[in-house]
Amino acid sequence: MAPMRGRMMDVPLTLVPLVERGVGLYGRQVVVTQRAEGPPRRATFAEVGARAHRLARALHDLGVGPGDRVGTMAWNTQEHLEAYLAVPCMGAVLHTVNVRLHPDQLAHVIADGGDRVLLCQRACLPALAAIADRLPTVERVVTFGEGEDAPGGAGHLDYEALLAASDRPLAWPDLDERQAAGLCHTSATTGDPKGVVYSHRSLYLHTLSLLATGFLPGGFSDADVVLPVVPMFHVNGWGLPHASVAVGAALVLPDRFLDPARLVGLLAGERVTLTAGVPSIWGPLLQRLDAEPTPLPGLRGILCGGAAAPPTLIEGFDRHGLTVIHAWGMTETSPLGTTVRVKHLLEPALDPAARLRVRASQGLPAIGFEVRVMDLATGELCPSDGRHQGELQVRAPWVCDGYLGREDREAFTADGWLRTGDVATLDPEGYLRLVDRTKDLVKSGGEWISSVALETLLMGHPQVDEAAVVGQPDPRWGERPVAFVVARPGAEGGLTPAALLEHLRPHVARYWLPDRILFVDAIPKTGVGKFDKRALRRRLAEGAAADTEPGAPQGSR
């Protein structure tokens, strides 16, 4: 016999009450969008909410029905936020398309999503134009924002004209909590991008967990002013748009203007309290602050995820009185997985070095998010001793359980956990540390070498800007590590492979020392700004141009 059931309302978990709460209670709260020139645009939550209902009517009139995909090609703007609210709440699926992708991937992603309508910021039209003949599913393109429609865009519809003509705002229909609400493709460092299909239930729970977990000292409330630098085409904008609307926090949207000078201006001018982005944004921003100190007294937290934050970055912002909060997640995890909070009970016992080590970890699991580290050789859980390495596996109601249109289960364990492909440790306090991607580990003489650990150490050298390590096939050892290094401007000539090996030597086993250190102008990046290790391996296979042998003193380039 089934056990007694609760007698609670079967209210579906959807974005609708979260959106309506924010718009209803905080109608005078603001959404600020940076422009190419002049002061930012400002709109109230009430205006954005009303426009979302009009957008929904316009999309409905274009034939968008329940479950249909509406693609967005846009930076962080008010219109993108309107689509974030309107599309899921009308029962359709918001497909955020990464506008930085290679045209082949872009065409694949839009076709894979089956997008019927594309909402395209005019600044993104060149990317769209490049694949204009490869959009079999797209019936309509709606354009918005600064600029002109490109030649050939004659069939495009104007967003503002559609809203103006939409005289009967659409009311939100009843929704099933399991129905799709969002779609985002993985960054696909290997193979084609795969679609992750978020449900209303998963986005609702993700929003609540983000707000509940308390990663931000001082909480997250309507007193906050949130600047997501992370593009809204990345994994639900890390959940910040939905969370900010639900709790009534102001949103400051930078559009496509992400250079350090403009970001500092926006952070200061709008008195931002919380911002979020990847390390490759914060590195240059820190350099800017170092060069030109700017008081940012309201800024309580700089959420940093997408790639490991080097400790030097955390320390660098500390010098300005600014707190980097390290976080980890994936497209598959909505993305909130772990965030660093230095436990209150730990604080008294931590010396500065230990405290930094905690802050540079990937942190503690969010409320409702479960992690485990599995020894793939033995199939046993690794002990939480901070040393045993295994594959990070995760589980939560907001973790994907399969990819759009694919039935393969390689990414999932038999008992239903997601195999992240990350190699990790857990320490006795529960702090997660990513050691590497399973596929980025270098296997030398049967031993594992962590490319990420080597990269972090190399980037800790004051004259190094960026470093990426990959394995090169080796007849004797199987693989040997090779480092690609970008010297800091001004360091050229002074920085040598030998100096870097001496820098590494105290920290790693002898066999970890890279066989070669290659100075390059830049490290190739993927569409989401991560090191493109496939490209680096290809370059090695083709014979790197600026090859140097360690120990042979020489300048960069």
Q: Catalytic one among 177, 413, 443, 525? A: 443
138 near a copy of itself (CB under 8 A)? no
* Least distance from a copy of itself to the Cβ atom of residue 316, Å: 26
505 near a copy of itself (CB under 8 A)? no
- Closest to 368 measured CA to CA, from 242, 211, 209, 246: 209
18 near a copy of itself (CB under 8 A)? yes
* Least distance from a copy of itself to the Cβ atom of residue 308, Å: 21
Among 11, 154, 509, 522, binds a copy of itself (CB under 8 A): 11
* Least distance from a copy of itself to the Cβ atom of residue 243, Å: 8
- What phi-psi label fits residue 543: left (phi over 0), alpha (psi between -120 and 50 degrees) or beta? left
Q: Which is nearer to a copy of itself, 401 or 479 (by Cβ)?
A: 401
Residue 86 has a CB neighbour count (10 Å cut-off) of: 30
189/302 Cα distance (integer angstroms)? 26
* Least distance from a copy of itself to the Cβ atom of residue 346, Å: 9
x/- map, 72-91, a copy of itself, by CB under 8 A: -------------------x
510 near a copy of itself (CB under 8 A)? no
231/235 Cα distance (integer angstroms)? 9
Q: Which is nearer to a copy of itself, 366 or 423 (by Cβ)?
A: 366
Residue 172 among the catalytic residues: no
Among 212, 376, 381, 491, binds a copy of itself (CB under 8 A): 212
140/367 Cα distance (integer angstroms)? 40
* Least distance from a copy of itself to the Cβ atom of residue 174, Å: 11
Residue type at 386 in one-letter notation: G
Q: Which is nearer to a copy of itself, 133 or 408 (by Cβ)?
A: 408
214 near a copy of itself (CB under 8 A)? yes
* Alpha-carbon distances, residue 165 vs 59, 79, 157, 159, 489 (angstroms): 12, 16, 12, 10, 54
17 near a copy of itself (CB under 8 A)? yes
271 near a copy of itself (CB under 8 A)? no
Q: Are 477 and 545 in contact (CB under 8 A)?
A: no
Site for a copy of itself in 53-72 (CB under 8 A): 65-67
50 near a copy of itself (CB under 8 A)? no
* Least distance from a copy of itself to the Cβ atom of residue 92, Å: 8
186 near a copy of itself (CB under 8 A)? no
* Least distance from a copy of itself to the Cβ atom of residue 400, Å: 6
- Closest to 365 measured CA to CA, from 385, 393, 392, 340: 340
Q: Which is nearer to a copy of itself, 10 or 37 (by Cβ)?
A: 10
Strands 157-158 and 442-444: unpaired
Q: Which residues pair with 375 in a beta bridge?
A: 380
Among 15, 170, 216, 518, binds a copy of itself (CB under 8 A): 216
Q: Are 243 and 219 in contact (CB under 8 A)?
A: no
Q: Catalytic one among 448, 479, 525, 530? A: 448
267/251 Cα distance (integer angstroms)? 11
Total site size for a copy of itself, rule CB under 8 A: 81
Residue 332 among the catalytic residues: yes
32 near a copy of itself (CB under 8 A)? no
Among 80, 201, 300, 419, binds a copy of itself (CB under 8 A): 201
Q: Are 459 and 519 in contact (CB under 8 A)?
A: no
In a 10 Å sphere around its CB, with 0-12 CB exposed, 13-18 middle and 19+ buried, how is residue 508 labelled? Answer: middle
Site for a copy of itself in 422-441 (CB under 8 A): 429-430
97: Cβ contacts below 8 Å, ≥ 6 apart: 71, 72, 73, 106, 109, 110, 113, 115, 118, 185, 233
Q: Catalytic one among 79, 82, 270, 332? A: 332
- Closest to 139 measured CA to CA, from 158, 159, 152, 155: 155
Q: Are 294 and 335 in contact (CB under 8 A)?
A: no
240 near a copy of itself (CB under 8 A)? no
Site for a copy of itself in 324-353 (CB under 8 A): 341, 343-345
251: Cβ contacts below 8 Å, ≥ 6 apart: 30, 31, 32, 81, 226, 227, 228, 240, 241, 244, 245
Among 48, 58, 124, 246, binds a copy of itself (CB under 8 A): 246
Residue 37 among the catalytic residues: no
Among 222, 385, 502, 521, binds a copy of itself (CB under 8 A): 222
Among 368, 478, 524, 550, binds a copy of itself (CB under 8 A): 368
Residue 186 among the catalytic residues: yes
179 near a copy of itself (CB under 8 A)? yes
Q: Are 293 and 279 in contact (CB under 8 A)?
A: no
- Closest to 199 measured CA to CA, from 186, 187, 183, 210: 183
Q: Catalytic one among 14, 33, 96, 186? A: 186
Q: For the chain, how long is the longest CA-to-CA vector?
A: 77
Q: Are 227 and 267 in contact (CB under 8 A)?
A: yes
200 near a copy of itself (CB under 8 A)? yes
* Least distance from a copy of itself to the Cβ atom of residue 1, Å: 8
Among 34, 96, 98, 209, binds a copy of itself (CB under 8 A): 209
226/517 Cα distance (integer angstroms)? 41
Site for a copy of itself in 394-423 (CB under 8 A): 395-404, 416, 418
* Least distance from a copy of itself to the Cβ atom of residue 10, Å: 7
**Residue position matching structure tokens 């497909």:** 95
6 near a copy of itself (CB under 8 A)? yes
126 near a copy of itself (CB under 8 A)? no
210/243 Cα distance (integer angstroms)? 7
Segment contacting a copy of itself by CB under 8 A, of 246-254, 259-267, 288-296, 301-309: 246-254
Catalytic positions:
186, 332, 443, 448
